[in-house]
Structure 1
Amino acid sequence: MGKTRERPGRGPTEHASASPWHRQPGLFLSRFWPAPVAVDARERWRAFLGAGFGILLTALVSRWWAGPLAPGPWLVAPLGASAVLVFAVPASPLAQPWAVIGGNTLSALVGAACAMAITDAAWAGSAAVALAIALMFWLRCLHPPGGATALFAALGASSFHFAVFPMLVNSVLLVLAGVLYNGLTGRRYPHAQGRPAQAGSARFSEADLDAALAHYNQVLDVSRDDLEALLHHAESAAYQRNFGNLRCADVMTPDPLVVRPGTPLREAWLLMRQKKIKALPVTDKSRRVVGIVTVADYMRHADLDEHEGLGRRLRTLMRRGGSLHAAGKPEVVGQIMTREVRVVSGQRHLSELVPLFSEGGHHHIPVIDAGQHLVGIITQSDLVRALYRAARPAD
């Protein structure tokens, strides 16, 4: 057996337990450097102009509301932080109307209560912030400026009236400005925080996402539906990167076997059995797709739910002039084929077909040319083969 080589002055396992920051101090310091903001100049203009609009509207209306002789403030500083959220990150759960209105107003009430109950300003301020965060968590209105509101109310020994005006009025006006401005500039606000019905992913399900969020166990400044949409987009980009410019025409089975609507059922069945295929495109005289016939179509018309005598019923189905529980037994392919057929262009990127096969229930997709003529067919086997070749490291 070999021996562990030791460096002078260091035990055999010391390197494994040493802090990575000791070995790479730059890695620790890099955490303090902000990441670039991934938005373009247009979005930045939209955000800061919106914040200015929101504060201006709130200020003008609040000042009019208070009147020229109002003894107290009619606009409070924490609202500036609320404006950053409402206009710069309107999709954030922390920026939604209930978070803004409830978080600011309830925090003001908590701050006022702490100012009345605790004489020491330091203790009153700290208690106000802590209790405000707890209350916002409990009532699902977590809003970072709420902490500033609670501290402001506690240090200023504000009364409960402060929570109504200016805090509540300011918050409502800012939210109304956010609804108006974000809507006019193409941003959803309020932003849905539920679970929209989406097509599933080939790589993860809603349960997987829930498990990951539970494991992370931290407040994320992004809604669950946005996070799911981002993951789906990232997955699509990964497919596109792996497939490159691979198109349907590159992997399809060219010139597939076809049948006509008038082809006898027995003839089509024998063709599928001989060629060991499970589907046949049905075309007209100009090779335009009018349907597809599959083993499942035969099973459906042979009463698959009755397992006893299935083989006999299939033989009866394909026998001319026979009877299968009723007169008018289907005789030709056109009577049992599936007429609504998903087709794709040969120039379509193969990555776009992955959801159709993985979640759409498709097993065979005909490929057509610019003139709508059948030129090939893509099966699950073709897709798997292409996936394997794309993922296989170069020799």
Structure 2
Amino acid sequence: MTRPDLLARLQALVRGFAAAGLVAGSRVSPREMGRAALGSAVGILVASLTAHALAPGLPALGLVAPMGATAVLVFAVPASPLAQPWPAVAGNTVSALVGALCARFAGDLGLAAPLAVGLAIACMFALRCLHPPGGATALLAALSGVDPGFALSPVLLDTLVIVLAGVAYNRLTGRAYPHALPLHPAQPAGAAPTRFSTADLDAALAHYDQVLDISRQDLEQLLQFAEAAAYERKFGELRCRDIMSTPPLTVPFGCTLAEAWELMRERRIKALPVTDRAQRIAGIVTVADFMKHADFQSIDGLGARLRGLIRASGLTHDDKPHVVGQIMTRQVRIASADRYISELLPLFSDAGHHHIPVLDAERRVVGVITQSDLIRALHRTVKAA
């Protein structure tokens, strides 16, 4: 069998295991894989050189095998609670000491080996320094029958150097290490309120009752980001035609001011799109337009001036406006029926718009989106998230 054939079979085997749920899928980029691999090699190299310089009498370059596993955690998963400086340094050192003591007092290797691993795990739990390579360190110390000083050199020395190298390398490559744990993780910016509380998450973790290779704070923040992403995805799919009010309430260019004002008062709305004879948008008339022409700058007598504006004068020629086309706003913010709702959010939140006419391909008014329509859509999205 040629090497390419063997590689192809191995890849097919891995894909089969992955399809059966026996292999976790990769969630990192090739760049991150390279970063972690290079960092682990650098950490082991620095630990070896340091141990050789400080304790030249140590065999095997001053390294012990469990340091390879520690390097994997520190450089490949620096956010893991099991990879932080205290678990790494204390976990390896305590485990090495436990293994050495078991070898000295248990007598039989068949008893010393399992006793060392079990006691090391118990001690790491008690000291809150659970570190998986600690189990290997305890086993190595028990099987080798080393002196308790083995815990200090090379174990403590090697682990300290790897951790310090991890701090420098991770920060130089854009990874936070040690990984700070916020007491109150912030929600993603702009996210809707999550549907679970801190107490809910604590109850779920208590029910699960297993060690997770992720901090409780990171898990909560991850869930918040996932919920926010689902919310954004669902809201991002909505288009204007999905939430607009139809049929649109419009008035023609020649509608009298009295008719338009009465219509707004009856329907309790603050704006009316103004259309031409082909139902194409010509402008929009709002309460603000009426107030502007009634000189709202002066409060005294505003009601009388507004009634005078709306009431027909009965004259054939005067300077007073009579129809909405004379007071409407001609520059209108519009949206197409196929436009995504998410694109209109700045218009409502920042620009202060309250009503946006929705047009079809022929620029005919087919609907209107109001702040109420938008709030209803947000409410439905949050409920469905």
TM-score by length of 2: 0.61
Task: Give the direction of change, closer, same or farther, for the CA distance of 1:72–1:386 in structure 2 (3 Å limit).
Answer: closer
1:82 aligns with 2:70: yes
**What is residue 209 of structure 1 aligned with on the other side?**
201
How big is the alpha-carbon RMSD for the aligned residues of Structure 1 and Structure 2? Answer: 4.1
SS in 2 for 1:366: helix
- Code of the aligned partner of 2:96: A
Q: Structure 1 residue 195: deviation in Å?
A: 2.7
2:234 maps to what in 1?
A: 242
Query: Does the 8 Å contact 1:248/1:350 carry over to 2?
Result: no
Q: Residue 387 and residue 234 in structure 1: after superposition, are their counterparts in 2 closer, same or farther (change >3 A)? A: same
Query: Which one-letter code corresponds to 1:50 in the other structure?
Result: G
For the residues of structure 2 that align with 1:163 and 1:43, how far apart are their CA atoms? 33
Counterpart of 1:191 in structure 2 is 179
Query: Following superposition of structure 1 onto structure 2, how do residues 246-285 of structure 1 map, counting pairs within 5 Å?
Result: 246=238, 251=243
Q: 1:124 maps to what in 2?
A: 112
Gaps of 5+ in 2: 1-15, 249-264, 272-283, 285-298, 301-333, 357-368
Q: What is the rounded CA distance, in whole Å, between the counterparts of 1:235 and 1:352 in structure 2? A: 22
Residue 366 in 1 paired to residue 348 in 2?
A: yes
- Cα distance change, pair 172–252 in 1 and its aligned pair in 2 (3 A): farther
Q: Does 1:162 align with 2:150?
A: yes
Larger mean Cα displacement after TM superposition, 232-241 or 48-57? 232-241
Q: 2:83 aligns with which of 95, 101, 104?
A: 95
Match of 1:49 among 35, 38, 44: 38
Q: Is the 8 A contact 1:243 1:351 kept in 2?
A: no
1:149 aligns with 2:137: yes
Alpha-carbon distance between aligned partners in 1 of 2:73 and 2:64, rounded to the nearest angstrom: 16
**For 1:281-360, what aligned pairs fall within 5 Å after superposition?**
350=342
Pair 1:348–1:58, CA change in 2 (3 A): farther
Distance in 2 between residues matched to 1:161 and 1:118, nearest whole Å:
18
Decide which of 36, 60, 72 is 2:49's aligned counterpart.
Answer: 60
The reply to whether residue 227 of structure 1 matches residue 224 of structure 2 is no
User: Relative to 1, partners in 2 of residues 1:189 and 1:349: Cα closer, same or farther, differing over 3 Å?
Assistant: farther
**Which of the pair has more CA radius of gyration?**
2
Quote the Cα distance in structure 2 between the aligned partners of 1:70 and 1:28: 42
Q: What letter corresponds to residue 214 of structure 1 in structure 2?
A: A
Change (3 A) 1:204 1:114: same
Q: How far off is 1:381 after superposition?
A: 6.5
2: CA distance between counterparts of 1:351 and 1:228?
29
Give aligned pairs, total. Answer: 277
Q: Which runs of 5+ in 1 are unaligned?
A: 1-26, 256-272, 281-286, 288-318, 321-344, 354-364
Question: Percent identity of the aligned residues?
Answer: 49
Helix, strand or coil: the match of 2:62?
coil
* Secondary structure of 2:183 counterpart: coil
Are residues 229 and 71 of structure 1, via their aligned partners in 2, closer, same or farther at CA, if it must alter by over 3 Å?
A: closer
Distance, in Å, in 1 between the alignment partners of 2:129 and 2:343 is: 40
Cα distance in 2, alignment partners of residues 274 and 175 from structure 1: 73
1:285-322 CA distance string (max 9 Å, x none): xx9xxxxxxxxxxxxxxxxxxxxxxxxxxxxxxx99xx
